[in-house]
A = this chain, B = another copy of it.
Amino acid sequence: MLKLDFHPSGRHFLQIPGPSPVPDRILRAMSLPTIDHRGPEFGALGRDLLTKIKRVFKTESPVIIYPASGTGAWEAALINTLSPGDRVLMFETGHFATLWQKMARRLSLEPEFLGLPGVEGWRHGVQADMIEARLKEDTHHELKAVCVVHNETSTGVTSDIAAVRRAIDAAGHPALLIVDTISGLASADYRHDEWGVDVTVSGSQKGLMLPPGISFNALSDKAIAASAKAQLPKSFWAWDEILEANKNGYWPYTPSTNLLYGLNEALDMLEEEGLENVLARHQRWAAGVRCAVEAWGLEIQCQDPSVYSPVLTGVVMPEGIDADEVRKIIYERFDLSLGMGLGKVKGTMFRIGHLGDCNDLTLIATLGGCEAGMKLAGVPLKGSGVTAALDYFAAHPMHRAG
């Protein structure tokens, strides 16, 4: 029997920016017996889910649910809309934007990777003016899509997607707008229809508080039209057969039944609390965590306050400190998992996730573990972050609508 918890007592604090802590209620829902995916109960489940999921994306258009993890939904968005050799404009906001760009290249597309120089791009959001300028140059409309990451999980930056939409419109350019909000959905404000997004990519294991394993493409009419002409070979990811089967609440092949039970529960939880309350809750937590970082006298990875992420905060270590060494001490001594620095920022920062099934004290515990661990690792701290966050939370009670 494999023992999966290396700490002797208590519950692990999973404060990485996803997978987020899964509520017991969802784990319990997922343990319902698997049913026949072609039977009448499944159809009722499917129809209910496919309706409710739209409200989270704020769209009237169909949302595809894949029995595959988020990386698959990235691939699906590209494969359904594009053809071999197509040029796409992608923007470098961090590690995940970079990985998506590599995927595009593997899929025989020709991505153009725009961004601020060096590590600067990893400390700011998408620069809509750069996109606008580039699109204006593209008078022959060779760029078929603009691909941006809404909430860059590697840095803690939530870009302004409405601004990207305005940039495309200002350029009068027909490119599709494809957005990854894998780590933003249901934690950061997101509006598929209002922002004119053509394909939104998302996953289960962040704001939806599910284990990883299912993922999403929210569509637009323009995206569906594009998919009819797109030439990349596709079968598993193909929207057409899924859209057809979804009309009755079914899928063309076996869906991930028990994760769909969890999704159903997650959607009910979001509706019970109210999506706007959920978003405000994340903003409040993020503000409390930033108070802590400021009290410690450390830098936040994101340098532009207007795009601070409500989902996670990157904490930059002083010169000479290995962030992964700090994380290791915190994990071993305090049973707390934090996100590592990825790609260009490996070893220079760590990430605190503040999303999903948490509460104020979960974050106080998290900040406590960070504070004690950094001290043990020799990080010089100006003051106590944990008391600063406590004061912030005490002074700012959550006001709920509904």
Contact = CB atoms under 8 A, between A and B. Distances in A.
B273 A9 contact: yes
Contacts of A256: 69, 211-213
B361 A334 contact: yes
A22 interface: yes
A35 interface: yes
Given A19-B37, A34-B19, A359-B335, A2 B48 contact: yes
Contacts of A6: 40-41
Contact of A72 (B33, B236, B391, B394): B236
Nearest to A103: B235
Interface in A33-49: 33-41, 44-45, 48
B5 A34 contact: no
A19 to B, nearest CB: 5
A336 interface: yes
Instruction: Report the copy number of this chain in the oligomer.
Output: 4
Interface in A254-278: 254-259, 261, 264, 268, 272-273, 277-278
Contacts of A360: 333-335, 369
Contact of A233 (B71, B107, B356, B386): B107
Nearest to A369: B361
B359 A213 contact: no
A110 interface: no
A258 B9 contact: no
Nearest to A69: B67
Interface string A202-217: 0101000001111000
Contacts of A97: none
Nearest to A262: B258
A331 interface: yes
Contacts of A386: 364, 368, 386-387, 390
A253 interface: yes
A103 B233 CA distance: 10
A23 B4 CA distance: 14
Interface stretch (A115-123, A300-308, A371-379): A371-379
A357 B36 contact: no
A173 B258 CA distance: 43
A399 interface: no
